[in-house]
Amino acid sequence: MRLRRPPPPFFRPLAALAALGLAGCAALPPPAALFTYLAPAGAVSPAERPAFNARVLDRVSNWVSRRYFDPSLNGLDWPAACARHRPTILAARDDDELYAALNSLLAELNDVHTHALKPREIEELRRRQGVLIGFRTGPVEGQPTQRRILLVYPGSPAALAGVKPGWRLVAADSRPPGEVLGLGKLAEGQLVQLDFVDAQDRPLRLALHARKLVYPPIRDARRFASGVLLLTFDTFDLPSARWVRAQLKAAPPASGVILDLRNNAGGETRALAAILAEFFPGKIDIGHTRARGDSVADGHRSPRHLLAAHYRGPLAVLVSEGSASAAEIFASVVQQQQRGPILGVPTPGKVLVAVNWPLPGGGELQLSVYDYVAPDGRRLEGRGVAPDIVVQPAPGADPDPQLEAALAVLAPH
């Protein structure tokens, strides 16, 4: 791999935002981070606010104009869009209003990965905590403003109120949930009216108070009587890669492995490569990334890890509409290498690679900078991975039909 720039990671949608059903990608600092870092500013006075807002807007406009992966900007007249939104952005009275106005502008790019993050959101993401209601959601097919409850955090306001996986969240304070819920959007103790539809299609309204929660990473290993090992994790990062290796090396050896990536938001390229190396004995093609202006795409291959488990037994991978970025790439590589079946429902195709660029005052612009192409030449963005075996989800059901299907394909015949 040529290192003309730091190798781009296949970044995930921000873990916390994905947990709340919002879109985006996480990223390392940009290639020129040492030269462009802007330290957080103190409080901005009302008199200074318009000029400060103008500086933030100008920086956003500049990054998008120069670095967005698609030189046509998805057909958007970017200068005209900036001019339309400029009065609202300059009139913002605080960071909440400023970043809401910036994201209204960025929404015109029609790119779910590109998003502006205010300083408080960034701090909460780093600490893996925030003022939340306490559930993770995924999309509802055919209902773009609704969200399906995938996971309820134990001890959270949602758990105490009896919210269950499989319910649909229709509205929050009579608005689309994404407009109300998310890191940095709620104040501690804030009352939110939530409209649900339960598993029996009955409408239900709950008034819940948001509170500060810590959401640890999900890593769960389960061994069945058959010897099949189920590994569930929600992020492709190096701790997860080390955890996968430790589980694969544990005695007795697994008779089969199921990787549950149904709610995995993706992660870094080095973790993706490391986990692939656990299941493939030699180097394999991961795909290509191309930045704006590149005449040749950068190719990526998994490494040979001497300490890897080198698991060669049966493998199955579970995916869903909640699988994104590195999780989709992992499933695509396994499928193209015919290493094992992919089960579940199609993934969303959220694999553009984003870089976070610093903004005045400590915020960041999360901007799509690299396009990704699978080893067979297909773009996964907007298309996703079609499973080999389609099994519809049933959140909260016991037994889990998708898991049962994976166990069945790994059963000795």
Amino acid at 374: A
Among 23-32, 181-190, 227-236, 306-315, the range of highest mean pLDDT: 227-236
Q: Which helix (H) or strand (E) holds 318?
A: strand 315-319
CA dist., res. 335 & res. 313, Å (int): 15
Residue pLDDT, tens place only, 26-55? 334 444 333 334 444 568 899 999 999 999
Query: What is the torsion angle, in degrees rounded to the nearest 10, for the CA atoms of residue 193, residue 199, residue 203 and residue 209?
Result: -10
CA dist., res. 90 & res. 4, Å (int): 37
* % of the chain exceeding 90 in pLDDT: 57
pLDDT, residue 282, reads 83
Are 10 and 272 within 8 A, CB to CB?
yes
pLDDT, residue 296, reads 61
Q: Going by C-beta distance under 8 Å and a sequence separation of 6 or more, which residues neighbour residue 145?
A: 171, 176, 177, 178
Are 148 and 136 within 8 A, CB to CB?
no
57 beta partners: none
Q: DSSP of 181-193, one letter per residue? A: -STTT--TT-EEE
CA dist., res. 246 & res. 309, Å (int): 8
Residue of 379, 290, 369 whose CA lies nearest to 69 = 369
Q: Which helix (H) or strand (E) holds 226?
A: none
Average pLDDT of the segment spanning 158-186: 91
59-62-67 Cα angle (round to 5): 120
pLDDT, residue 114, reads 93
- Asked if the model's pLDDT at residue 15 lies above 50, the reply is no
Domain-by-domain residue ranges, the chain?
Answer: 15-125, 131-214, 219-351+370-410
This prediction's pTM = 0.77
Which CATH homologous superfamily contains domain 131-214? PDZ domain (2.30.42.10)
pLDDT, residue 42, reads 60
pLDDT, residue 385, reads 95
Are 327 and 315 within 8 A, CB to CB?
no
Q: Which CATH architecture has domain 15-125?
A: 2-Layer Sandwich (3.30)
Q: What is the Cα 229 distance to its own chain's centre?
A: 25
CATH of 219-351+370-410, one of 3.30.70.1050, 3.40.50.360, 3.90.226.10, 3.40.190.10: 3.90.226.10
Residue pLDDT, tens place only, 215-268? 778 899 999 999 999 999 999 999 999 999 999 999 888 999 999 999 898 888
Residue of 257, 237, 239 whose CA lies nearest to 318 = 257
Joined tokens for residue 106: 């960025």
> How many other CB atoms are there within 10 angstroms of residue 122's CB atom?
18
